[in-house]
Amino acid sequence: MAVADDRAASPDAELPAPDDRRASRDAGLPAPDDRTASRNAGLPGAGEAAQVSAFWRRLGLPGLIDVHTHFMPDNVLAKVWAFFDGRPGGSWPIAYRLPEEQRLALLREFGVRRFGALAYPHKPGMAAWLNSWAAGFAARSPDALHSATLYPEPAAVGYVATAIERGARLFKAHIQVGGYDPRDAWLDPVWGMLAEAQVPAVVHCGSGPHPGGLTGPGPIGEVLARHPRLVIIVAHLGAPEYTEFLNLAGRYPGVHLDTTMAFTDFLEYLAPFPPALRPRLAALADRILLGTDFPNIPYPYLRQLEALAGLGLGDDWLRGVCYHNAAALLGLDRG
**Edge-to-edge, what's the strand order for the sheet holding 201-204?**
147-149, 170-174, 201-204, 232-234, 255-258, 288-289
pLDDT in tens, the chain (335 residues): 222 333 333 333 333 333 333 333 332 333 333 333 334 444 555 689 999 999 999 999 999 999 999 999 999 999 989 888 887 666 789 999 999 999 999 999 999 999 999 999 999 999 999 999 999 999 999 999 999 999 999 999 999 999 999 999 999 999 998 999 999 999 999 999 999 999 999 999 999 877 888 999 999 999 999 999 999 999 999 999 999 999 999 999 999 999 999 999 999 999 999 999 999 999 999 999 999 999 999 999 999 999 999 999 999 999 999 999 999 999 997 65
pTM of the model: 0.87
Cis amide leading into 295 (omega within 30)? yes
pLDDT at 16: 32
Q: Provide the 3-class DSSP secondary structure of residue 60.
A: coil
* Cα 72–Cα 75–Cα 80 angle in degrees, nearest 5: 70
pLDDT at 22: 33
pLDDT at 84: 85
pLDDT at 25: 32
Q: How far is CA 169 from CA 58, 60, 67, 146, 295, in A?
A: 29, 26, 11, 6, 21
pLDDT at 90: 67
What is the Cα–Cα distance from 157 to 96, expressed in whole angstroms? Answer: 35
Pairing of strands 170-174, 232-234: unpaired
pLDDT at 210: 77
As a whole number of Å, the CA-based R_g of the chain is 18
What is the Cα–Cα distance from 282 to 15, expressed in whole angstroms? Answer: 29
pLDDT at 49: 96
